[in-house]
């Protein structure tokens, strides 16, 4: 089978259909080889071949959220931030707070002057309350003693109902 490039050069292609496989994240991959085998995401190959990337964006997004729908009309070039926003808006990225497999437990702050206590559910809640999450985690991990006049510690997962995070 012969194909022609945009420059008019003739290119011979193997007529074998590549089926590929689905990786552990749900994306279809194919193995291509010239000098050694290399694994490629099919959606990325389709985007490279059929969608102009004038702004040199780094990632390919599936507009409908279906990782197996690799039609060029369903793909678009996006930034990493746009890809994450799309996943959150479409409900693809649901696991936040206590539902996330990386959730380690609630964070309790204690005011060093008044002894007042407050419970936080993670990074977002800490930032909204004016704390630097990196500094808070430094206190939790014992690298520093306090942050903004507060002690912080992690509560055990079974100590409180955490599903509301």
Comparing CA positions, the residue from 54, 53, 38, 49 lying closest to residue 5 is 49
**Topology at the third CATH level for domain 2-89:** Homing Intron 3 (I-Ppo) Encoded Endonuclease; Chain A (3.90.75)
* Rounded mean pLDDT, 57-61: 97
Comparing CA positions, the residue from 149, 142, 147, 153 lying closest to residue 132 is 147
* Least confident residue range of 10-14, 63-67, 95-99, 118-122: 10-14
DSSP line for 13-59:
---PPP--EE-TTS-EEEEEESSSEEEEEHHHHHHHHHS--TT--SE
pTM above 0.85, yes or no: no
Place of tokens 């409900």: 91
Express each pLDDT in 69-112 by its tens digit.
Answer: 999 999 999 999 999 899 888 888 776 667 777 778 889 999 99
- Phi/psi at 47 (nearest 5 deg)? -65, -45
Which CATH number applies to 97-154: 1.20.120.160, 1.10.10.10, 2.40.110.10, 1.10.1060.10?
A: 1.10.10.10
């Amino acid at each position: 089978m012969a194909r022609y490039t945009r420059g008019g050069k003739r290119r011979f292609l193997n007529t074998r259909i590549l089926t590929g496989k689905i990786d552990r994240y749900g994306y279809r991959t194919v193995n291509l080889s010239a000098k050694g085998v290399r694994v490629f995401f099919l959606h990325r190959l389709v985007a490279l071949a059929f969608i102009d990337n004038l702004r040199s964006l780094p990632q390919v997004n599936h507009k409908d959220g279906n990782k197996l729908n690799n039609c060029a009309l369903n793909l678009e070039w996006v930034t990493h931030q746009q890809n994450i926003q799309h996943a959150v808006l479409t409900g693809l990225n649901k696991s936040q707070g206590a539902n996330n497999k990386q959730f380690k437990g609630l964070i309790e702050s204690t005011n060093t002057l008044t002894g007042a206590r407050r419970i936080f559910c993670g990074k977002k809640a800490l930032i909204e309350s004016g704390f630097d999450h990196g500094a808070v985690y430094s206190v939790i991990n014992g690298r520093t003693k306090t942050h903004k006049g507060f002690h912080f510690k992690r509560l055990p997962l079974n100590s409180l109902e955490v599903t509301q995070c």
